[in-house]
Structure 1
Amino acid sequence: MRLRPAMRERASDAAVTAVAVVLGLLMLRSAQVDPMPGQHVHLPSDLAVGGAACLVLLLFRRRWPVQVALLLSVGDLLASSAMGATAMGLFTLASHRPWRVALAVAGLNAVRVLVTFRLAGTDREYVESVTVVLLVYAVIVAIGMLVRSRRQLVESLTERARQAEEGQRLRVEEARLLERERLAREMHDVLAHRISLLAVHAGALEFRADAPDEQRRAAGVIRRSAYEAMEDLREVIGVLREAAPGAQPERPQPTLTDLPALVEESRRAGAHVTLDERVADPEKVPARVGRHAYRIVQEGLTNARKHAPGARVRVTVEAVGPFLAIEIDNPLPPGPRPPALPGAGAGLVGLAERVGMIGGTLDHGLSPEGRFRLAARLPLPDA
């Protein structure tokens, strides 16, 4: 179980303070066993100063690391047990501030150690004591710098991961919006065609000479309502038809009968595609279901061409009870899988939008045989 940031900080503060206490007691024991010339250890006062130094370290080391390190460097002049807190104060400084600041404070401590031991001991004791203390300080500062570098690296990687997730989320959202726009355009084409047919037939009935007056008036209402619906449709959805200047007009919306032409187009582009169509009468499949089936196969062929170039693709379209089942599968290329391209999976997100709109299901992934499989089931209306 991962700890929350505040709990991790408190645990880290407690661990650093515990190390300071252990180091301070070791230094106090050393001073009692082998005191320097003229050194007299008064245990109660020494422990009081050491305890106060550890308390300062525990409470303020994150907020004011520079000030705490400087204050503790004065404290170990008064008590041997405060040396542990001084060392951990340098560690905190090195792990929370740039290396220039850490080295500057560590240099001041080194000068203080040189002067203090020069005044207190003999030449032999001076060299031994200074060497040990400076080595301890150097190791502690180096460890603190390593901790800071690791923290910065983790923060950098976390930020990059967050940006990558945000980028993927935006790409998925963009794919959804693009697919909805595409669906709106298709809806505009289909509805405009059917409403215009309704208006034409209503107009023919309205102006039929032998039609009863009530029937002609009703046909007139239907014709005017159809034209008003056309105008509303143009205002609400027609704006999505706007394209860049010079863009080619879109072809009529495809249906299930256009699948062989789509497969043949992929074959001419160099793909190895096998189409297995098991629909008794494709023309009887509703246009909206056939249109979605066409887009699913189109996206599956595009994915196969992009991620498994040269692979043999198998397309199966079958009427299974009240559903139209579509399956596109292909073997994966040999060797390790390449890293995902930016925007990879956006097309599948769009297909999910499209299939969900008509109450179908979409499934994709690796099959037990190691082939990539894209499968959809689209509901067919009752015959």
Structure 2
Amino acid sequence: MAGRGRAPRWVVGLLLLGLVGLVGCGGAAEPDSATADVQRVLDRRAAAVRDGSERAFVATEVPSSVAAGERAAARTEFKNLRTVPLAAWSYRVTGFHRSGDRGTADAELRYRVEGYDRSPIVAARTLSLTRADGHWYVAADRPAKDAGEQLWEQGTVLAVRGERSLVLGVGQSRDSLRGYTELADRAVPTVREAWGGEWSGRVVVLVPKSLEGMAGLLGAPASGYRGIAAVTTGEAGGSAKAPADRIIVNPDAYGVLGAFGRQVVLTHETTHVATRSATSAATPLWLSEGYADWVGYRGTGRSAAQAAPELARVVSEGHVPAALPDDGDFGFDGDAGSLARAYEGGWLACRLIAERWGEVRLGEFYRAVGAHEERAGAVESALGDVLGTTLEKFTEEWRAYLGDRLG
């Protein structure tokens, strides 16, 4: 599924089938003077993170004489965050509501990971504050409603660097995270060869402890991602200056994959990172997911039937899909078989284009669809301009291709 436009977050994932066997606030808005006081507290908090000063960070928390336990929690949070290679960290207060000596601030946390983010990641936060001895202190700092957690809120972060990747994990061994860097490092040149050089060629992979941790990072129910090996988050149509996308792994599902499946997953997700600036509201999911699968399987020697078992089953029974997969077919919380067939159908559509018109034309077609101003007519226009065909003719060819390769 995908957020559309400049601000929304984009989330895309890879299904396992075929690879195995976000606080309401009360009170009136506070005058600018109080808001400025709170901003200064958060500025000190941000400086402490940038300087690596646990003492200064904890000093922004509620004094132990006012509320016991907060400073101990602040020390834990700081230690969890300490290993993340940060290039920038700041807060911007967007709203402050006060009731006596207590208040709630809405804020944007902006941070950059060194060597990967060209622009800041922006995370919506809600901070509870307490006033004591004439000063404001942070009592709690948590994700805003419907916003995802940050990895360090789930435990101590371990960072492992690869040649082309940075893997950040919680509850994972160094050896395990090293395995992710090896796969991601192999995925980058594979994707570059297929897509080209219009991206950084570097990826950030987040590995939480469990499916629940993955869901926490996404700010969504865990049930919607059960059986999904990984997703990629980012800004749809993001420019070259956009912050780096994050590949978020579901260790529960990823862990049951073999070596081949793990590599396909990381290559698929890395393709989403590479193609982000060319992916827009005009891009249907059959194309974005199908293209990522096409790159993932490219050069592996897997046949259509081997990589598309669910679709092969229904086609062999005489049920060839009448149309290309719709966006609604890619919902993670629906029927697993239907979801698998949507992915497989998109992959085979891209495979058809690569075989019939060539790999270069497939890339050109992807870019042409994403460059369209709106969804309506995007595929039809690109089919005519790049491939010299119509949607009706292409659909006929795709259906025949399914019958030939899977029947």
- Rg larger in structure: 1
Normalised by the shorter chain, which TM-score bucket? under 0.3
Normalized per residue, the structure richer in strand is 2
TM-score, scaled relative to structure 1: 0.18
TM-score, scaled relative to structure 2: 0.18
More relative contact order, 1 or 2 (CA 8 Å, 6+ apart): 2
